[in-house]
Amino acid sequence: MPTPTLVETPVLSLEQRLEEMMGHKIAEAMSNKNSRQKSMVLEEDHFSLEVMTVPLPRDFKQPKMEKYDGFSDPVDHLMSFVDLMRLQATPDAIMCRAFPPTLRWEARD
C-alpha cells in the first residue's frame, strides 16, 4: 500500500475512526440482540462538543444509500459512505454526525 500523502492522512484518520465506531456499534448490537427493550431516544450524545458545534453546510445533502443492517460487509458500507461524503467535500465533523443515520436495526443501537 502506498504511503498516504498529507492530504489523505486526515481522511484516513476519519475512516479509521468511523471503522472503529461501526465495529463497536456492531459488536454492541450483537451482544444486545435479544434485549431490544432500550429506549428509542438516546439520553446522551455520543459526539464531542467539537463535533456537535460544527454547523451543517447550507448545501449539505445526506447521502442516499442502502442502510447498513449488520448483515452485509461493514467496510463496504463505510467506504461507500466516505466516497459519497468526499463528493460534497464534507467536513470530518459533519461526516461523523451523518454516519449514524446510515445504520438500521441492531447496527444502529
Nearest to 96 by CA among 48, 43, 29: 48
What local confidence, expressed as pLDDT, does residue 85 receive? 93
Residues 6+ apart with CB under 8 A from 52: 45, 93, 97
C-alpha 40/C-alpha 19 separation (Å) is 24
Question: What are 25-38's pLDDT values in tens digits?
Answer: 777 766 665 444 33
C-alpha 28/C-alpha 8 separation (Å) is 30
C-alpha 102/C-alpha 78 separation (Å) is 9
Residue 41 reports pLDDT greater than 60: no
Question: What are 44-69's pLDDT values in tens digits?
Answer: 567 788 888 888 888 888 988 999 88
